[in-house]
Structure 1
Amino acid sequence: MKRRLALLSLLSAAVALAAVAGVAFGATPLPLSRILELLFSSEARSANPTDAWIVLNLRLCRVVAAGLAGAALSVAGAVLQALLRNPLAEPYVLGVSAGASVGAAAVVAFGFTAALGGLALPTAAFLGALASTALVYALARSGGRIPGPTLLLSGVVVASVLGSLVSVLLFLSGGQNRMEAVILWTMGGFSEVDWARVAVTVVPILVCAVVMWALGRDLNLLAFGEDPARFLGADVEPLKVTALIATALLTACAVAMGGVIGFVGLMAPHAARRLVGPDHRILIPSTALLGAVLLILGDLLGRSVHPPLEIPVGLITALFGGPFFLVVLRGQFRRSGS
């Protein structure tokens, strides 16, 4: 236990260091002393409004959004891997992210953000994610139960259909600017995020993460299979429903802030499991912290390679996540004897 707590402390320190780096570095590097002065001194902010805007409304907002999105995707991935007993599972596999993307892309493509205000994007992402989750749940449910393999296959089918809908929205967007906005959205990134989106999404992310942490014991029991988990006292079907709703909300929040960002929900849980073991009561906070670090650093890398141009963070995570997926898949083949 002491070792695990020490690792949690180290991961927390890593998040803090990544956040400092994310605020300090960019097209205009700022020393730590200057950042602290701008954060805590109203006089310094009044005397240097440009630097204050860069630190507070650009970099700090991006760092917080990236950290929250990384934590949300990572917790969702860890929960789905436990739910399906499949190490390749992540939010995108079940169509959760695709549903959130359809809702958000519709808002961007038809210009509803200007008409409906800052809540339009996260609300549309929430509704899309919940609708896709409900559809997957309805397709997979059989005889009062939700078999894991059927749930996985239903998710793949729904994700494919919804991915096509995003492409249709791209062509119906009715203007080059909107088309470019949808394309950038599908690549993932935090260049357009603001404090309003962060404020809307932070509470659902924290609540869902805490709920999944509280259900950590039941998630542990699922590793033995659904029937043994029932025998050991887990209420499996309500657990599945709760987990699906939580992963939908977590993924919707991440999509609302940063667009489509893949593989974080795959990489962070695997890395955290290597560090702290399979106990979800420790794994969930660990994977949240590690996911936050990965996405903060990924966003920093994307905007630091060739400033002022930015590489979308979704491309950065895909660049590293694709090979990681193949490594995990190869390990699965070896264990199965294929």
Structure 2
Amino acid sequence: MTKDFIMNLFSRKYAVITFLVCCIILVYLLGQGTIEIGYKKTCQILADIIQGTMSDTDILADVIYYLRLPRFALAVLIGSGLAVSGCVMQAVMKNPLADPYLLGISSGAGLGAVLAIILGLTSVMGFDSIGFFAFIGALTVTICIILIAFYFGSANTVTILLSGMAFNAVSAACISLIISVYADAERIQSVTFWLMGSLQNARWENIYVLTIVVFCLMFYFYKNSRILNLMLFGDEAAITLGYDLAKIRMVYVFLCAVMVGLIVYNSGIIGFIGLVVPHIVRLIYRSNYKQILPNCALTGAVFMVLADVISRIAREGSEVPIGIVVSVIGAPVFVYLLLSKNYGYNKK
């Protein structure tokens, strides 16, 4: 009993320290860019913004408030959402190599976006057409996978994975076909840039909606972290405790698709965060999802904000697509985890 109490106390203390360190890093990164703003000045500007006393003549304050804060907030939400989605998907699939795009969500979103660009649509019911079609495409693929799983009378991980792989291949083939047949050079460039991800269209009105969805779903998954832990032991063990993991699994897959679909709506396709971040966090917290989920959110936020800073300063006069930056950083980290075998749920 004493040992468990000490371990819980240590874990909480460590979590607080991790949270504070991540906040300090995030504030520091907010001041970085083409115009470098010191940490102290950044803190002062943030304090003025919170208190409503921001100076109208302070150029650096305008840079923070009008240019960087929307991108910063969007990067935090995207990093947190993708990392938590990846963490949940790895539990649902019982597959350490799963990520939010495993089930063809990214390909479905990409197909929807390509259709919007090729058709030359600019807006749908007041929404950005590319993002709207991407969101619909992601949800459509997910719903089809769920219907197929229930049609065969089984919602186990094998059925879901095979269905996802099939829809992923079909969507990718349709994207290639549409681009080769219908697109001109200008539209191909638009498609390519969108598929590589970008935060250039960060707007507060979209961020408000994404904030509500991401935080509500992260809180929901956190409150159900015991079920995520239970998924690692299999359906048979869960049935003895009164849980039907088949239905729960479908609900979790759908909720992850909603979150990822909204993220894709705002930023395009950004990979590797949902795959790499959970493994990094799991090196410290092993397989307890009550500790893994909040730390995945924090680590994913820092990872994404760092990638955004690099994308803005890596090339003078232009911006490198953030999806490329994330892949360049994430791929070597993931290869290292594979080679060192520091992944999976059975690590001693």
TM-score w.r.t. length of structure 1? 0.88
Paired position in structure 1 for 2:5: none
Paired position in structure 2 for 1:106: 115
Contact persistence 1:72–1:288 (CA under 8 A): yes
1:32-54 Cα shifts (integer Å, max 9, x gaps): 44434544266654224x54442
Contact persistence 1:95–1:158 (CA under 8 A): yes
Paired position in structure 1 for 2:96: 87
Tell me the CA shift for residue 181 of structure 1.
Answer: 2.4
1:142 and 1:332 mapped to 2: Cα distance?
37
Contact persistence 1:18–1:296 (CA under 8 A): no
Q: Structure 1 residues 323 and 32 mapped into 2: Cα distance closer, same or farther (>3 Å)?
A: closer
Paired position in structure 1 for 2:304: 295
Paired position in structure 1 for 2:42: 35
Paired residue secondary structure (1:46) = coil
Q: Is 2:57 the counterpart of 1:47?
A: yes
Paired position in structure 2 for 1:2: 9
Q: Structure 1 residues 25 and 223 mapped into 2: Cα distance closer, same or farther (>3 Å)?
A: same
Tell me the CA shift for residue 87 of structure 1.
Answer: 0.2
Unaligned runs of 5+ residues in structure 2 are: 1-7
1:144-194 Cα shifts (integer Å, max 9, x gaps): 321212211221221122223333454577554443222111111212222
Q: Is 2:37 the counterpart of 1:19?
A: no
1:116 and 1:169 mapped to 2: Cα distance?
24
Q: For residues 191-270 of structure 1, what are the structure 2 equivalents within 5 Å? A: 191-270=200-279
Q: Structure 1 residues 106 and 18 mapped into 2: Cα distance closer, same or farther (>3 Å)?
A: farther
2:18 and 2:178 mapped to 1: Cα distance?
40
Tell me which moved more, 217-226 or 327-336: 327-336
Aligned residue type for 1:135 = C
Tell me the CA shift for residue 291 of structure 1.
Answer: 0.9
Unaligned runs of 5+ residues in structure 1 are: none
Aligned residue type for 2:215 = L
1:226 and 1:327 mapped to 2: Cα distance?
32
Q: Is 2:164 the counterpart of 1:155?
A: yes
Tell me the CA shift for residue 120 of structure 1.
Answer: 4.2
Paired position in structure 2 for 1:322: 331
1:167 and 1:268 mapped to 2: Cα distance?
30
Tell me which moved more, 36-45 or 15-24: 36-45
Contact persistence 2:235–2:244 (CA under 8 A): no
Q: Structure 1 residues 307 and 11 mapped into 2: Cα distance closer, same or farther (>3 Å)?
A: farther
2:220 and 2:343 mapped to 1: Cα distance?
33
1:194-222 Cα shifts (integer Å, max 9, x gaps): 22221221111111111111221111111
Tell me the CA shift for residue 21 of structure 1.
Answer: 2.8
1:333 and 1:45 mapped to 2: Cα distance?
49
Tell me which moved more, 164-173 or 182-191: 164-173
RMSD: 2.8
Q: Is 2:311 the counterpart of 1:309?
A: no
2:316 and 2:167 mapped to 1: Cα distance?
38
2:45 and 2:344 mapped to 1: Cα distance?
54
Paired residue secondary structure (1:242) = helix
Q: Percent of aligned pairs with the same residue?
A: 27
Tell me the CA shift for residue 107 of structure 1.
Answer: 3.5
Paired position in structure 1 for 2:191: 182
TM-score w.r.t. length of structure 2? 0.86
1:10 and 1:173 mapped to 2: Cα distance?
54
Q: Structure 1 residues 276 and 51 mapped into 2: Cα distance closer, same or farther (>3 Å)?
A: same
